[in-house]
C-alpha cells in the first residue's frame, strides 16, 4: 500500500489506543510493530483493517508476537525496499469530498485551487515516475514544497501527511490559457486562465483542456455549431462524443437526471471512484443535440473528477463535450507542446497546466448490460487493473495484446496487471506509447519479463514488436485468448462453452474466425461451432465498409447485390476468383452486412458504427414489437463442427416491406436464439458447466441481454465479462492466462 494515507492512519490509531511502536512501508507491504495493553492491542489489530481509509483496502499478511522493546511513543520510519517486492500502483483518484469542500471555501488557502489533493485523492498512476512512491519519484519533483505545505506533509495528524502530489497556489502547478492565434505571445494564468477558457467556450470555440491522464477536446454540448466544427476538424463525422456534466444539486446528479434515464445501477456506476464514462439512454425530453451521438440512443457521460474539471464545469454551468484530445485512434496527448502542435487544426485555444503527465490514461468506459456495469475500456481511475492468478508463474510473462484497442498485461508469481487502453497500433505515436507502457510497468513493478505472449496474427504491430525481442515467444490464437479471459473471470475449474464473437481474428485453420463457440478451459479449447463461412471482398477494407459484407452474403447465396457500379462488377469478378477475398466466419461481419442491407450504414466512419446503429434502431419498441426469431439451420460438417447457416437471416433482412426496426430486432432475436440452440446441441453431445459470451460483438447490450435471458430460461448458467473488457482491450489478460495454462499443464 502506497499513497493511500495508511501509515498516518496507523500512527493516529496507535495514539488513540496509547500504544508505542513503529510503522514502516516496505514497498507494497506495511510493517507495524506495536506494544501496549493486551486488550488495546486486540482492538488496534481489528481496527487496522476495519477502519482503514477508503483507498487502502488492507489485508493482513501475517501477525506474530515479538519480544518487548524499550520504546517511547509511536514512530513512522522511512520507507525501506523489501526483498520480496509486492508493489501496487494506485490508479488516479477523483477529487475527494474533503478537498472539494476546501476548494469551495472562500477563506481556505486552497480556495479555487485546481490542483488541490490529499492522501485520499489526486493523480497517482499518471504521475509516478518510479517506485517507491515518494515525491521525488513523481512529476511533482520540480515543485519544492512551501513552508506551510511542508508542515502539512510532515505532520502525521494532518490528512495531507505524505500526500506526494501535495500542492497549493504558492508552490504548486498553475494553469495557463493560450489562444491559438496568439500562441507564444500571450498566455494568462490562474483564475484569469479559467475565465478566459469559459469565455472561449461560451463563444462556441473548441478548447483543448489538459486534465489528469491527457487532454480533452472541449466545447459547449448544447451548441450544434460548435459540435459540427469539432466533428469537421477532427474528421469524426459520426463517432459518439462523451460529455462531462456539471456537479449540481445535493447528490451532484441533478443535471444528468434532467437529460438521461438514471437508475440505481447507472447512478452507482457514474459515481464510482473511477468516475468513468457511462453509456446512458437519453430521456425522451432531452435537450441534447442529436449530433452528440447520431443515430444512437445512449450517450457517454461522466462527472467532473479532477478539481480543475469541477471548477470548469461549475463556471460554465452546463454540460460540455469532453472527447479524447488525440489524433484518431492514437493515445490521448499529454504534453503541452505536443498538444499545441498536433491539435492546432482542431482547437482554437488551450488550457494547459505545468504538472507533467508521466504517461497517458484515457477515460474508462462502462456500459450497463444485464443489470451490471461492464468495463468496455480500462483507463484512468481503473488501470493499472490488478488480478490474482489461480496459479504461480515460474517466470514473469508479458502479453502484448491485439492490434486495435491495444492494451498490454504483465504477470509474475500469482499476479497480473492490465495496462490502461493504449489505442490502435497503426500510428507511430501509438507504438511509442505501447513501448513506453511496456517499459514503465516492468520498471514500476520491478519485474523483468522472461517470455512474451502475442496474437497468432503475425501482421499485428504488437506481434511484430514481440518477434523482434530477444525472448521466448508464445503465439496465442485470438479467440482462445478471449475465451481464457472470460473463463479466468467467470470461474476457473469449470468446463466452458464460450461464444467468442467479434470482428476477425486469425484462426487455427488460417481462415478469419469471429463467430465460434469454443469448448473447454484455458490451455485446452476446442472449436465446436461456427457460422457458415463466406468470402469477404476486399479483405481488410470490409471492416470499414459494411456494404462489402452485405455483398458477400448476397453473392454467396446466388443473389444480386443492389449496385451495378463498374467497380462492384470488377470486385465481384475478383471475389469469384478468390482474389483478396479471405474466408471468414465472423459474427461482426454479419452485423455489418445487416446494417448495410437495412440502409443504415454502407461505409463506417468509426469502428462498430454499423452494428451500433443496428442495435439502436432495433430498440424502437413500437416498430420492433412484432419481431420473431427465425431458426438458423444447424448441421454438422465432416469434422464434427456444428455450422449455423445465416441464409434465412439474409432473406429476412431483404424483405423491404417489413419496417427496418422490426427486421433489426428479428436479426438480434435470431442470433440469441441460435446461441441457445447451439448450446443445447453441444451439451447433448459433451456436457459443460457454463456458457460464456465474449468478443466485441457482446458489447451489444440488446444481443447480450437477449442471449443471457434465453440461456437462463433454457437452464444454462451464463456469464458475460465484467472486470476486463470483452473486446480486444481485454485480450492481453486472456493471452497471459492461455499461455500460462498451456505451459503449466504441459
Return residues touching Zn ion (CB under 5 A).
96, 99, 118, 120-121, 146, 149, 168, 170-171
Question: Shortest Cβ distance from residue 102 to Zn ion (Å)?
Answer: 8
Query: Which residues, 6 or more positions from 438, have their beta carbon under 8 angstroms from its beta carbon?
Result: 398, 400, 408
Q: Which is nearer to Zn ion, 53 or 294 (CB)?
A: 53
Cell 444512437 identifies what position? 296
Question: Shortest Cβ distance from residue 594 to Zn ion (Å)?
Answer: 49
Q: Which is nearer to Zn ion, 146 or 473 (CB)?
A: 146
Question: Shortest Cβ distance from residue 118 to Zn ion (Å)?
Answer: 3
What gap in Å lies between CA 430 and CA 503, rounded to an integer? 21
Q: Which is nearer to Zn ion, 100 or 479 (CB)?
A: 100
What gap in Å lies between CA 509 and CA 527, rounded to an integer? 11
Q: What is the distance, to the nearest Å, from the Cα of residue 584 to the centroid of all Cα atoms in its chain? A: 28
Contact 461, 431 (CB under 8 A): yes
Question: Shortest Cβ distance from residue 135 to Zn ion (Å)?
Answer: 12
Q: Which is nearer to Zn ion, 118 or 358 (CB)?
A: 118
Q: Is 497 helix (H, G, I), strand (E, B) or coil?
A: strand
Question: Shortest Cβ distance from residue 356 to Zn ion (Å)?
Answer: 18
Q: Is 217 helix (H, G, I), strand (E, B) or coil?
A: strand
Contact 645, 635 (CB under 8 A): yes
Question: Shortest Cβ distance from residue 124 to Zn ion (Å)?
Answer: 12
C-alpha cell at 49: 483493517
- How many CB atoms are located within 10 Å of the residue 217 CB? 25
Q: Which is nearer to Zn ion, 143 or 488 (CB)?
A: 143
Of 208, 205, 204, 216, residue with least CA distance to 323: 216
Q: Which is nearer to Zn ion, 170 or 199 (CB)?
A: 170
CA atoms within 13 Å, Cβ hemisphere of 175:
27
What gap in Å lies between CA 376 and CA 366, rounded to an integer? 5
Q: Which is nearer to Zn ion, 120 or 430 (CB)?
A: 120
What gap in Å lies between CA 630 and CA 647, rounded to an integer? 11
Question: Shortest Cβ distance from residue 110 to Zn ion (Å)?
Answer: 9
Question: Shortest Cβ distance from residue 150 to Zn ion (Å)?
Answer: 8
Question: Shortest Cβ distance from residue 141 to Zn ion (Å)?
Answer: 15
Q: Which is nearer to Zn ion, 8 or 149 (CB)?
A: 149
Q: Which is nearer to Zn ion, 169 or 289 (CB)?
A: 169
Question: Shortest Cβ distance from residue 122 to Zn ion (Å)?
Answer: 7
Q: Which is nearer to Zn ion, 118 or 378 (CB)?
A: 118
Specify the length of the chain in residues: 746
Contact 128, 88 (CB under 8 A): no
What gap in Å lies between CA 709 and CA 716, rounded to an integer? 10
Give one word for 204, left, alpha or beta, with left for phi > 0 and alpha for psi -120 to 50: left
What gap in Å lies between CA 284 and CA 378, rounded to an integer? 30
Question: Shortest Cβ distance from residue 385 to Zn ion (Å)?
Answer: 23
Q: Which is nearer to Zn ion, 110 or 238 (CB)?
A: 110
Q: Which is nearer to Zn ion, 151 or 232 (CB)?
A: 151
Question: Shortest Cβ distance from residue 148 to Zn ion (Å)?
Answer: 6
Question: Shortest Cβ distance from residue 194 to Zn ion (Å)?
Answer: 19
What gap in Å lies between CA 610 and CA 608, rounded to an integer? 6
Reported in sequence order, the residue ranges of 325-421 that DSSP labels E, i.e. its strands, are 349-353, 365-369, 372-377, 385-388, 397-399, 409-412, 415-418
**Can you spell out the DSSP letters for 271-338?**
TSTT--EEEEEBPTT--S-GGGSTT-SEEEEE---SHHHHHHHHHH-S-EEEEE-SSTTSPPP-SHHH
Query: Which residues, 6 or more positions from 26, have their beta carbon under 8 angstroms from its beta carbon?
Result: 79, 80, 81, 82
User: What letter does residue 301 receive in the DSSP assignment?
Assistant: E
- The b-or-e profile of 271-290 (16+ CB within 10 A means b, else e) is ebebbbbbbbbbeeeeebbe
Helices 731-745, 478-490: axis angle to 10 degrees equals 90
Q: Which is nearer to Zn ion, 99 or 368 (CB)?
A: 99
C-alpha cell at 41: 492491542
Amino acid at each position: 500500500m502506497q499513497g493511500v494515507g495508511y501509515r498516518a492512519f496507523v500512527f493516529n490509531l496507535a495514539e488513540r489506543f496509547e500504544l508505542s511502536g513503529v510503522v514502516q512501508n516496505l514497498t507494497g507491504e506495511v510493517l507495524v510493530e506495536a506494544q501496549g495493553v493486551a486488550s488495546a492491542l486486540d482492538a488496534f489489530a481489528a481496527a487496522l483493517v476495519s477502519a482503514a481509509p477508503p483507498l487502502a483496502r488492507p489485508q493482513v499478511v501475517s501477525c506474530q508476537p515479538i519480544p518487548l522493546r524499550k520504546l517511547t511513543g509511536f514512530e513512522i520510519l522511512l520507507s525501506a525496499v523489501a526483498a520480496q517486492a509486492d508493489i501496487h500502483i494506485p490508479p488516479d483518484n477523483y477529487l475527494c469530498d474533503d478537498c472539494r469542500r476546501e476548494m469551495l471555501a472562500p477563506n481556505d488557502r486552497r480556495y479555487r485551487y485546481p490542483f488541490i489533493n490529499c492522501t485520499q485523492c489526486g493523480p497517482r498512476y499518471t504521475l509516478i515516475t518510479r517506485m517507491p512512491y515518494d515525491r521525488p519519484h513523481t512529476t511533482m519533483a520540480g515543485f519544492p514544497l512551501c513552508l506551510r505545505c511542508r508542515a502539512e506533509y510532515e505532520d502525521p495528524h494532518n490528512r495531507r501527511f505524505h500526500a506526494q502530489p501535495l500542492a497549493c497556489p504558492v508552490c504548486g502547478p498553475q494553469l495557463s490559457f493560450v489562444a491559438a492565434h496568439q500562441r507564444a505571445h500571450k498566455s494568462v494564468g490562474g483564475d484569469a486562465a479559467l475565465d478566459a477558457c469559459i469565455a472561449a467556450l461560451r463563444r462556441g470555440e473548441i478548447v483543448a483542456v489538459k486534465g489528469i491522464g491527457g487532454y480533452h477536446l472541449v466545447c459547449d454540448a448544447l451548441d450544434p455549431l460548435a459540435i459540427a466544427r469539432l466533428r469537421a476538424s477532427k474528421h469524426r463525422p459520426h463517432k459518439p462524443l462523451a460529455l462531462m456534466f456539471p456537479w449540481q444539486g445535493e447528490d451532484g446528479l441533478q443535471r444528468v437526471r434532467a437529460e438521461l434515464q438514471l437508475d440505481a445501477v447507472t447512478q452507482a456506476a457514474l459515481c464510482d471512484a473511477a468516475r468513468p464514462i457511462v453509456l446512458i439512454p437519453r430521456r425522451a425530453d432531452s435537450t441534447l443535440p442529436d449530433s452528440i451521438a447520431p443515430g444512437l440512443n445512449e450517450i457517454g457521460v461522466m462527472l467532473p473528477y479532477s478539481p480543475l474539471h469541477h471548477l470548469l464545469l461549475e463556471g460554465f454551468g452546463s454540460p460540455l463535450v469532453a472527447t479524447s484530445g488525440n489524433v484518431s485512434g492514437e493515445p490521448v496527448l499529454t504534453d503541452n507542446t505536443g498538444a499545441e502542435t498536433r491539435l492546432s487544426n482542431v482547437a482554437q485555444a488551450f488550457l494547459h497546466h505545468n504538472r507533467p503527465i508521466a504517461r497517458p490514461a484515457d477515460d474508462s468506459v462502462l456500459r450497463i448490460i444485464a443489470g451490471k456495469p461492464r468495463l468496455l475500456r480500462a483507463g484512468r481511475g481503473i488501470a493499472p487493473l490488478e488480478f490474482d492468478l489461480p496459479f504461480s508463474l515460474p517466470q514473469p510473462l508479458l502479453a502484448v495484446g491485439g492490434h486495435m484497442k491495444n492494451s498490454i498485461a504483465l504477470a509474475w508469481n500469482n499476479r497480473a496487471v492490465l495496462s490502461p487502453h493504449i489505442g490502435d497500433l497503426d500510428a507511430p505515436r501509438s507504438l511509442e506509447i505501447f513501448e513506453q507502457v511496456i517499459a514503465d510497468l516492468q520498471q514500476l513493478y520491478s519485474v523483468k519479463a522472461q517470455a512474451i505472449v502475442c496474437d497468432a496474427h503475425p501482421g499485428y504491430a504488437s506481434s511484430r514488436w514481440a518477434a523482434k525481442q530477444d525472448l521466448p515467444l508464445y503465439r496465442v490464437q485470438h479467440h482462445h485468448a478471449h475465451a481464457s479471459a472470460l473463463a479466468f473471470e467467470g470461474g476457473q475449474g469449470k468446463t466452458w462453452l464460450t461464444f467468442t464473437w467479434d470482428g476477425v481474428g486469425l484462426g487455427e485453420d488460417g481462415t478469419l474466425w469471429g463467430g465460434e463457440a469454443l469448448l473447454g478451459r484455458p490451455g485446452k479449447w476446442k472449436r465446436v461451432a461456427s457460422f457458415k463461412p463466406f468470402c469477404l471482398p476486399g479483405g481488410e477494407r470490409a471492416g470499414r465498409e459494411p456494404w462489402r459484407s452485405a455483398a458477400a452474403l448476397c453473392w454467396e447465396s446466388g443473389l444480386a447485390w443492389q449496385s451495378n457500379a463498374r467497380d462492384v462488377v470488377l470486385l465481384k469478378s475478383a471475389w469469384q476468383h478468390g482474389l483478396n477475398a479471405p474466408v471468414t466466419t465472423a459474427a461482426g461481419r454479419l452485423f455489418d452486412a445487416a446494417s448495410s442491407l437495412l440502409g443504415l450504414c454502407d461505409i463506417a466512419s468509426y469502428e462498430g458504427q454499423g452494428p451500433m446503429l443496428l442495435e439502436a434502431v432495433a430498440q424502437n419498441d413500437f416498430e420492433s414489437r412484432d419481431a420473431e426469431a427465425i431458426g438458423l439451420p444447424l448441421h454438422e460438417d465432416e469434422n464434427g463442427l456444428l455450422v449455423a447457416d445465416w441464409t434465412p437471416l439474409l432473406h429476412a433482412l431483404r424483405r423491404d416491406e417489413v419496417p427496418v426496426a422490426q427486421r433489426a430486432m428479428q436479426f438480434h432475436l435470431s442470433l440469441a436464439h441460435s446461441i441457445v440452440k447451439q448450446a443445447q446441441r453441444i451439451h447433448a453431445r459433451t456436457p459443460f458447466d457454463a456458457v460464456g459470451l465474449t468478443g466485441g460483438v457482446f458489447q451489444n447490450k440488446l444481443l447480450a441481454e437477449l442471449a443471457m435471458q434465453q440461456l437462463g430460461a433454457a437452464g444454462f448458467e451464463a456469464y458475460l465479462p465484467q472486470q476486463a473488457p470483452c473486446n480486444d482491450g481485454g485480450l492481453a489478460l486472456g493471452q497471459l492466462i492461455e499461455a500460462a495454462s498451456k505451459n503449466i499443464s504441459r
